[in-house]
Amino acid sequence: MKVMMSACLAGENCKYSGGNNLNERILRRFSEDEIICVCPEVLGGLPTPRVPSEIRDGKVVNREGKSVDREFRLGAQKVLEIAQREQPDLIVLMSRSPSCGVKERYDGTFTGKRVPGMGVTSQLLSEHGFRVVDAEDV
Ligand code: SF4
């Protein structure tokens, strides 16, 4: 099986903080499979570390109030192109990220409040028929 995955889940230090979200359980689960790691925010040209962002009224803004919507959508488009080329059987994405979240995201107030909804990349992948799964549900 071919599995596309949020790169931070595989231990890449691409998280906004400069760290990762290494998930040994997920790596063990797919240890026999081909893994393709992607980080849409890095692919969209954002630096690591970076100011954290959330989706507010359908647009992505960072905690300083600057729009990073263009970078997030560019990164999502690049991930979609990789998925269209590689045709993964499954895409596993990091929970609650404004790019990768599948079930929930933060509400745009930077107060830790969660709302139902997808990140920019997961939404685009899902709209194009790819099977996206939240890391929590693997
Ligand atoms: S954009 Fe996705 S892959 Fe990149 S650090 Fe955030 S959750 Fe991980």
- The percent helix, strand, coil of the chain (3-state, each to 5) is 30, 25, 45
* Mean pLDDT computed over 86-99: 98
93 CA distance to ligand 1 centroid (A)?
A: 8
Nearby residues of 102 by Cβ (< 8 Å), 6 or more positions away:
93, 95, 118, 119, 122, 132, 133, 134, 137
Which atom of ligand 1 is least distant from the CA of 8?
A: 8
Q: Ligand 1 centre and the CA of 133: distance in Å?
A: 14
What is the rounded distance in angstroms from the CA atom of residue 89 to the CA atom of residue 130?
8
Residue 41 CA, closest ligand 1 atom number: 1
Q: For residue 38, give the amino acid letter.
A: V
Contacts of 115 (CB under 8 A, 6+ apart): 104, 105, 106, 107
- Mean per-residue pLDDT of the chain: 98
Q: What is the rounded average pLDDT of the residues 28-55?
A: 98
d(CA 75, CA 42) in angstroms, rounded, equals 7
As a whole-number percent, the residues of the chain with pLDDT over 90 amount to 100
- At 86, is the pLDDT very low, low, confident or very high (cuts 50, 70, 90)? very high
Residue 62 — pLDDT band, cuts 50, 70, 90? very high
Count up the domains in the chain and report the number: 1
Query: 126 in the Ramachandran plot: left (φ > 0), alpha (ψ -120 to 50) or beta?
Result: alpha
Expressed as residue numbers, the domain containing 123 is: 2-137
